Structure 1
Amino acid sequence: MAASDITVSGLNKVGAEDAAYLVSKIRTIPGFPKEGILFRDFMPVLADARAFGILMGALEAALPVDVDDFDMVVGLEARGFLFGPALAARLGKGFIAVRKAGKLPPETMSQSYDLEYGQASMEIETNVVHEGVRVLIVDDLIATGGTANAARSLIEKCGGVVAGFSFVMELTGIDGMKSLGDYPTSSLVCMPA
């Protein structure tokens, strides 16, 4: 599969030329991290000022909810830390990090989630989400939805309200978006899992 298997319906507000330019910067690496996997590398997008600008403009244009419907942006480790703070700054919002277990100072709240090969945990500092704070959860990729749902659970345990989810890439055919239920969602580019 080549770049032609990437659909860009989430980029419709940036124009065809900019969408094509952005997609041209997504590198496809067959057999990484293991045979049978097509790894989609977004790092070349970040290294190109024009592509990164297009990406951030597209994330803003494709917000699944109105900018006034959330107070903070939550980014998921690790690549949600690349897009989340940049989006938060563009929107005049604060940023909250949801990290892998053991990376934050106490006190934290933890949530486990299933992986295809076991379990993992995510954590959030207990003092960063207050009762009623509305958040937009941002990450680079949604596959099964395990990470996004773990983050949702953490936000809700802290008393926050998830307004929606925004992803750069969506892997199709594995129902990650469906796993998020009725929450508003957006993704910029879709590609087969």
Structure 2
Amino acid sequence: MSMETKISFIKEHIRDFPDFPKKGIIFRDILSALSNGSVCKVLNEVLIQYIKENFPDVEAIIALESRGFLFSFSVAAEFEIACIPIRKKGKLPGEVISRSYELEYGSDVFEVQKDSLKKPGLKCLIIDDLIATGGSMEAVIKLLESCNCDVIGCLAVIELVDLKGREKLANTPVHSFIQY
């Protein structure tokens, strides 16, 4: 099965939920696709193939809370590299490094465990389910860069192109597999 065919197969299984979480929004739900084991397998294959071809020197997979967690472990295991979670404030034990970021109606804070970033220049690849406004990924890039990590790219399964999130990530290679 070609990469194009695999991506089409995944897209066929993503459900749309109109007016969620509020009127006028069409929510693209990756979780509905993941309820099918064949889709899980194909999506994992797509991620691994893309990373092998484009980021062969990656040293750590950075997973954004919470749906990024769904993809990060199996990918990190395939490459036998670190899987480092980025969580919302107060959810990680030990010493953490924090970065606040702005949301549409307020702000939030991401944190990473300090000892998970083992060396300066660690080559990190960020994985999440979705790029919308780009605010979350931008905050994580800044957080990692403040820890002297090298963010080599950002991957997302889905991108909502009308929200122009990619523009906030202009200095980092960004790839999404499915665009709406």
2:126 aligns with: 137
Q: What TM-score does the superposition give when structure 2 sets the normalisation length? A: 0.92
**Structure 1 residue aligned with 2:78:** 90
| Per-residue CA distance 1:101-140 (angstroms, 9 max, x = gap) | 1101131111011111111110001111121111101111
What is the TM-score normalised by the length of structure 1?
A: 0.86
The answer to whether residue 154 in structure 2 is matched with residue 165 in structure 1 is: yes
1:14-29 equivalent positions in 2, closer than 5 A: 14-16=3-5, 18-29=6-17
Give the residue type in structure 2 aligned to 1:149.
Answer: E
5 Å-filtered alignment, 1:55-66, equals 55-63=43-51, 66=54
Q: CA deviation at 1:13?
A: 4.6
What does 1:1-193 correspond to in 2, within 5 Å?
Answer: 13-16=2-5, 18-63=6-51, 66-129=54-117, 130-191=119-180
Range with bigger deviation, 160-169 or 53-62? 53-62
Residue ranges of structure 1 left out of the alignment (5+ in a row):
1-11
Q: Which fold has the larger relative contact order, with Cα–Cα distance below 8 Å and residues 6 or more apart in sequence?
A: 1
SS at match of 1:162: strand
Structure 2 unaligned spans of 5+: none
Name the stretch that deviates more: 132-141 or 175-184: 175-184
Deviations 1:31-59 (A, max 9, x none): 11111111111112222111111111112
Q: Percent identity?
A: 36
The aligned amino acid for 2:10 is L
- Partners of 1:98 and 1:82 lie apart in 2 by 13
Q: CA offset at residue 20 of structure 1?
A: 3.1
Distance 1:44 1:95 in 2: 24
Preserved CA contact (<8 Å) 1:13 1:61: no
In structure 2, distance between residues paired with 1:65 and 1:57? 12
Higher helix share: 2
Contact 1:64 1:185 in 2 (8 A): no
SS at match of 2:87: strand
Q: 2:98 and 2:20 mapped to 1: Cα distance?
A: 30
Task: Rate the CA distance shift 1:152–1:92 in 2: closer, same or farther, 3 A.
Answer: same
The count of corresponding residues between Structure 1 and Structure 2 is 179
CA distance in structure 2 between the aligned counterparts of 1:66 and 1:153, rounded to whole angstroms: 22
Q: Secondary structure at the match of 1:22?
A: helix
Q: Please tell me the root mean square deviation across aligned C-alpha atoms, in Å.
A: 1.8
1:91 deviation in Å?
2.4
